[in-house]
Chain A
Amino acid sequence: MLARVAESLYWIGRYVERAENTARLLDVNYYATLESAGVVEDFWEPLIAISGSMASYQERYGSAGMDGQGVPIWLAFDRANPSSIVSCLSRARENARSLRDRIPSEMWEAINRAYLSLCFDTERVLRTDALHDYCVAVREACQLFFGMAFAALPRDQGWAFLRLGQKLERADNVLRLLQVRTRPSEEDAQEGAQALENHRLMAVLKTASAYEAHRKRYRSRLEPRRVAEFLLLAPDFPRSVRYSAMSLAKSLRDIAAVTEGPEAMRPAVRSLLRDADWLVARLAHVDVRHVIDDASPGLGDLLADVTAIGTAIHRAYFTA
């Protein structure tokens, strides 16, 4: 497979996953603020932290405007934010366009339709109180796209690279979510903290589409540690970091099985597989208390592992 094609598929996977994650983040938290007992600002700033765009946001807007107007615009519509929904869908579509000969036309049409219907006329969304509808539409468009891929893309390298991007992005996203949301909050010590914490943890779970799955497993009060453990280490929940890492490692092995000759494995590929296995092993054996307390490995270490795998993928496959 052409290196450029593999790289584009990988990035399509990342962008579409990112657009979907951002849409869920925004949807859940926007509506959570509506009943969050007046401490609204506290809800908005972390969203920007989770999306990893605090620095560029401050550069553009200063610290002002982190409210129910500014943040949704930044996260959903601002083309100056490379991670906004609109930017992600545009870039995914641009990448898809560069390889529309390679992907089934249903996939191309799904992303092209998403682009045409969700990336223009965006001002109207907030003006008409339609952010929820918009976020739902984004999620559905992304799901439709991956669904098409699931149904129509041969299980070859192209598929593996698309999944690679998707899983890497997902692991990255959930780690950031945990990093920001498990930080002890000042309100926790105050009166009524328990209700607020419950509210916050629900939002965290819902942001990762994990609320119902978590509820079914633990039929008791929401506890921060258990929520973190579920999102981080559940071996069978498809959005957990551990599950994503295992699936990532599998995609990498599938790719190497095709690209590496029978005689020898290229050093860059060998080191990449080792990195991925190391992450999986860490997640299999770690105690969640250590992670949350930011001992070794902390969330920061795991995030660095994920980033390193991303870099190694580039070195092994895209710079031939």
Chain B
Amino acid sequence: MFDGYAASGFYDEMFDAQGVRAHYERIHAYLQGLGRAEFERRRALLDLAFRNQGITFTVYGGLDVDGAGTERTIPFDPVPRVIPADEWAHIERGLTQRVKALNAFLRDVYGRGEILRDGVIPRELVYSSTHFRREVHGVTVPHGLYTHVVGTDLVRNETGEYLVLEDNLRTPSGVSYLLANRVAMTRALPGLFSGARVRPVQHYTTALLELLRSLSPRDVNDPTIVLLTPGMYNSAYFEHAFLAQQMGIELVEGRDLFVEGGRVWMRTTAGRAQVDVIYRRLDDDFLDPLTFREDSLLGVPGLVEVYRKGRVALANAIGTGVADDKAVYAYVPAMIRYYLSETPILNNVETHLGLDKDGLDFMLSNASSLVIKAVGEAGGYGMLIGPAASKDEIERFLKNVRAHPRGYIAQPTIALSRHPTYYPDSGKFEPAHVDLRPYILVGENITIVPGGLTRVALTRGSLVVNSSQGGGSKDTWVLSEPRRERVQRQHQEQEGGH
């Protein structure tokens, strides 16, 4: 099934010039041994399991026969992505450093604004961000933390270096697929795991619950924690339900909550119950019609006032979006140097800002070789991929860029690494571009489950991995160190300590 596999031209996760990389040898041999018919059978089992369990996301716009949004399962590719222990250790260090700096930045811009005063980041950039919320300036948050759940998108370039493509600090989604993928894989391809030293991931929800509990403003044994969802027509509804279920907390909609007497309550069959912590999967704009969008029916009128008084905690905090603005992103390395006095461990992708004149000129004159993105968009929307666009498309897109230069950034097209992926139509493994979104939990401690969601661009030749654009996903394995090496390393560390 690997016949004719073309590993050249890009960094390939499984193969190097010599052949199969060491940490993929076992998988490669196993898949070869399985044969096409048996592989197809297992793949069909996986598809059926996802369908029956309703592990879906909702595609906006499309209507099915019931008049609801169209639910789709995310195509799942059974060839796992493998990350060796040392690579993961590097990623983990880099992400930890990054989220520390991002939280310091949020604390700063909603507080004294030192980084702005010192001219490290232009004041205008921060205050003009559509996600900057002056309504929460000066609000104190538990542990001084703003963003508790972070999903950072990483890509690998042609040399295999991991680069940060963007940070998602508001309501990053996808972690449920990571967890569901693992369960499905262990059932359909158990043999693949035996002896592979795959590190477990299922402790994510326990860690998330602990984190949420630690945010409770009320000093009670059993604070009431809820997950606030926009409802079952939201694209990530499966995830909301899944996480609430795994944590054993109530999944609520705005209409289940109300504010009275300076507290947030939920409506129960026995009357009202006070709510302490809200893991909200609803954007700032929709949280509270009295503070933000008044036409929103999804939120809770009066919530922000209670939040300001510190009587309810929100995860993530309000206003975190200012730090995942795609233009502010360009300054994260500067934040790391400024707040932590450290050198960034993970690099950004080279980024040109429409906000500054040179950046804009560069963007306008090199559009056909760049990826240009709207700073406030996500999910692969509002994006121009220069090399794949026609002259007309580029010209139309640049019109918007000229009109609102602050709203755009440009990056070189990254030759994203590729990974063997099964294509049913050819019955073969073919290379497809992948990225990686690890999930970082930031509380008193920082927890990163080993791995993340590997998204794969299933359309041949495409660089877009978003599920809303037809991307799929893979199980992602982080391997633990072989025992021999681990002992050796501990030994060396101890010697170094003397």
Q: CB within 8 Å of B: which residues of A?
A: 1-6, 79, 90, 94, 97-102, 105, 108-109, 112-113, 116, 120, 157, 255, 258-261, 317, 320
Main secondary structure of the interface of B (DSSP, over half): mixed
Question: For the complex, is B9 an interface residue (Cβ under 8 Å from A)?
Answer: no
**Identity of the chain A residue whose Cβ is nearest the Cβ of B49 in the assembled complex:** A109
Question: For the complex, is B339 an interface residue (Cβ under 8 Å from A)?
Answer: no
Min Cβ gap A119→B in Å is 8
Do A97 and B232 have beta carbons less than 8 Å apart? yes
**Identity of the chain A residue whose Cβ is nearest the Cβ of B237 in the assembled complex:** A97
User: How many residue pairs, one in A and one in B, have C-beta atoms under 8 Å apart?
Assistant: 76
Do A109 and B65 have beta carbons less than 8 Å apart? no
Bound-state CA distance A98–B54 (Å) is 12
Do B242 and A3 have beta carbons less than 8 Å apart? no
Task: Kindly list 18 other residue pairs between chains A and B, CB separation below 8 angstroms, not including A98-B232, A102-B251.
Answer: A2-B252, A2-B269, A3-B256, A79-B65, A90-B66, A94-B232, A100-B54, A100-B245, A113-B52, A116-B51, A116-B52, A255-B269, A258-B270, A259-B270, A320-B268, A320-B269, A320-B271, A320-B272
9 contacting pairs across A/B (C-beta < 8 A): A2-B256, A2-B266, A94-B68, A94-B232, A97-B54, A101-B242, A113-B52, A259-B268, A259-B271
- Residues from 228 to 269 in B contacting A, C-beta threshold 8 Å: 231-232, 237, 240-245, 250-253, 255-256, 266-269
Query: Which range holds the interface residue count of chain B?
Result: 20 to 34
Bound-state CA distance A320–B242 (Å) is 26
Question: For the complex, is B426 an interface residue (Cβ under 8 Å from A)?
Answer: no
Scoring B54, B253, B266, B271 by chain A CB atoms within 10 A of each residue's CB, the highest score goes to: B54
Bound-state CA distance A6–B270 (Å) is 11
Chain A residue contacts of B242, Cβ below 8 A: 101
Known: A97-B232, A320-B267. A2 touches B53 (CB 8 A): no
Bound-state CA distance A101–B231 (Å) is 12
Chain A residue contacts of B54, Cβ below 8 A: 97, 100, 108-109, 112
Chain B residue contacts of A99, Cβ below 8 A: 241, 251
Do A260 and B270 have beta carbons less than 8 Å apart? yes
Min Cβ gap B370→A in Å is 42
Do B245 and A2 have beta carbons less than 8 Å apart? no
**Identity of the chain B residue whose Cβ is nearest the Cβ of A266 in the assembled complex:** B271
Residues 48-80 of B, flagged 1 when their CB comes within 8 A of A and 0 if not, give 000111100000000001101000000000000
Please pick, from A3, A105, A108, A112, the residue contacting B269 in the complex, using a CB distance under 8 A: A3
Q: CB within 8 Å of A: which residues of B?
A: 51-54, 65-66, 68, 231-232, 237, 240-245, 250-253, 255-256, 266-272
Chain A residue contacts of B241, Cβ below 8 A: 97, 99-101
Please pick, from A4, A101, A108, A255, the residue contacting B253 in the complex, using a CB distance under 8 A: A4
Min Cβ gap A153→B in Å is 14
Bound-state CA distance A124–B38 (Å) is 32
Do B267 and A101 have beta carbons less than 8 Å apart? no
5 tightest CB-CB pairs across the interface, nearest first?
A101-B245, A259-B270, A101-B244, A101-B241, A320-B267
Bound-state CA distance A97–B253 (Å) is 14
Chain A residue contacts of B251, Cβ below 8 A: 99, 101-102
Bound-state CA distance A53–B245 (Å) is 38
**Identity of the chain B residue whose Cβ is nearest the Cβ of A96 in the assembled complex:** B54
Min Cβ gap B44→A in Å is 16
Do A4 and B256 have beta carbons less than 8 Å apart? yes
Do B52 and A6 have beta carbons less than 8 Å apart? no
Do B53 and A317 have beta carbons less than 8 Å apart? no
Do A157 and B66 have beta carbons less than 8 Å apart? no
